[in-house]
Amino acid sequence: MKLYHRTYHARKILTQGFRDATDYYLTTSLHTGVWFSDRPLDINEGADGDTLLTVDIPESAVADYEWIEDEKPYREFLIPASLANQYGPPTIVQCDDEEA
Protein backbone atom coordinates (compact mmCIF):
# COMPACT_ATOMS: atom_id res chain seq x y z
CA MET A 1 0.00 0.00 0.00
CA LYS A 2 1.43 3.37 -0.99
CA LEU A 3 1.26 5.83 1.93
CA TYR A 4 2.04 9.55 1.95
CA HIS A 5 3.56 11.85 4.56
CA ARG A 6 3.86 15.65 4.15
CA THR A 7 6.67 17.33 6.09
CA TYR A 8 9.06 20.25 6.50
CA HIS A 9 11.75 17.77 7.64
CA ALA A 10 12.31 15.66 4.52
CA ARG A 11 16.10 15.85 4.57
CA LYS A 12 16.24 14.65 8.18
CA ILE A 13 13.74 11.86 7.51
CA LEU A 14 15.66 10.71 4.45
CA THR A 15 18.92 10.48 6.41
CA GLN A 16 17.72 9.49 9.90
CA GLY A 17 14.32 7.91 9.35
CA PHE A 18 10.89 8.81 10.66
CA ARG A 19 10.51 9.87 14.29
CA ASP A 20 7.45 9.45 16.47
CA ALA A 21 5.44 12.45 17.62
CA THR A 22 3.09 12.38 20.60
CA ASP A 23 -0.06 14.47 20.92
CA TYR A 24 -3.74 14.27 21.79
CA TYR A 25 -4.84 14.68 18.13
CA LEU A 26 -8.29 16.00 19.09
CA THR A 27 -8.85 13.17 21.59
CA THR A 28 -8.58 12.89 25.38
CA SER A 29 -5.66 10.42 25.23
CA LEU A 30 -2.07 10.75 24.11
CA HIS A 31 -1.19 8.96 20.86
CA THR A 32 2.25 8.36 19.37
CA GLY A 33 3.38 7.72 15.81
CA VAL A 34 3.83 9.25 12.36
CA TRP A 35 0.84 10.37 10.29
CA PHE A 36 0.33 8.81 6.86
CA SER A 37 -2.54 8.85 4.39
CA ASP A 38 -3.49 6.74 1.40
CA ARG A 39 -3.40 9.79 -0.88
CA PRO A 40 -1.50 13.07 -0.87
CA LEU A 41 -3.02 15.56 1.56
CA ASP A 42 -2.45 19.30 1.89
CA ILE A 43 -2.90 22.01 4.51
CA ASN A 44 -6.67 22.05 3.95
CA GLU A 45 -6.76 18.48 5.22
CA GLY A 46 -4.36 19.08 8.09
CA ALA A 47 -1.11 18.01 6.41
CA ASP A 48 1.48 20.78 6.54
CA GLY A 49 4.89 20.76 4.90
CA ASP A 50 6.84 21.63 1.79
CA THR A 51 7.72 18.05 0.82
CA LEU A 52 5.56 15.03 0.15
CA LEU A 53 7.14 11.65 0.86
CA THR A 54 5.85 8.20 0.03
CA VAL A 55 6.62 4.73 1.32
CA ASP A 56 5.16 1.33 0.42
CA ILE A 57 3.95 -0.65 3.43
CA PRO A 58 1.76 -3.75 3.26
CA GLU A 59 -1.81 -2.98 4.24
CA SER A 60 -1.76 -5.90 6.67
CA ALA A 61 1.14 -4.24 8.55
CA VAL A 62 -0.71 -0.93 9.06
CA ALA A 63 -4.34 -2.04 9.44
CA ASP A 64 -4.23 -1.80 13.25
CA TYR A 65 -3.01 1.82 13.04
CA GLU A 66 -5.82 3.22 10.88
CA TRP A 67 -7.83 6.15 12.26
CA ILE A 68 -11.28 5.61 10.85
CA GLU A 69 -13.44 8.70 10.54
CA ASP A 70 -16.76 8.65 8.74
CA GLU A 71 -17.16 10.77 5.64
CA LYS A 72 -13.45 11.32 4.98
CA PRO A 73 -12.59 10.59 1.35
CA TYR A 74 -9.18 9.22 2.35
CA ARG A 75 -7.67 6.88 4.93
CA GLU A 76 -5.30 8.00 7.70
CA PHE A 77 -2.84 6.02 9.77
CA LEU A 78 -0.80 6.86 12.88
CA ILE A 79 2.05 4.38 12.44
CA PRO A 80 4.96 3.79 14.84
CA ALA A 81 8.15 5.22 13.34
CA SER A 82 9.92 1.91 13.94
CA LEU A 83 7.41 0.17 11.65
CA ALA A 84 7.50 2.87 8.96
CA ASN A 85 11.31 2.80 8.96
CA GLN A 86 11.30 -0.94 8.24
CA TYR A 87 9.87 -0.13 4.79
CA GLY A 88 11.98 2.94 4.04
CA PRO A 89 13.69 4.99 3.13
CA PRO A 90 10.81 6.99 1.71
CA THR A 91 10.98 8.67 -1.66
CA ILE A 92 10.19 12.27 -2.50
CA VAL A 93 7.00 12.73 -4.53
CA GLN A 94 6.92 16.52 -4.51
CA CYS A 95 9.23 19.13 -3.06
CA ASP A 96 8.56 22.87 -2.86
CA ASP A 97 11.86 23.55 -1.05
CA GLU A 98 14.64 24.23 -3.56
CA GLU A 99 17.32 23.03 -1.12
CA ALA A 100 15.81 19.58 -0.48
Give residue-wise pLDDT tens across range 60-72: 999 999 999 888 9
In one letter, which amino acid is 80?
P
pTM over 0.85: yes
Task: Of 15, 99, 87, give the one whose Cα is nearest residue 54.
Answer: 87
3-state secondary structure of 32: strand
Element at 3 (helix H, strand E): strand 2-7
Give residue-wise pLDDT tens across range 46-95: 899 999 999 999 999 999 999 998 889 999 999 999 999 999 899 999 77
pLDDT at position 70? 86
Q: Would you kindly state where each structural domain of the chain is located, as residue ranges?
A: 2-95
What distance in Å separates the CA atoms of residue 59 and residue 92, rounded to the nearest whole number? 21
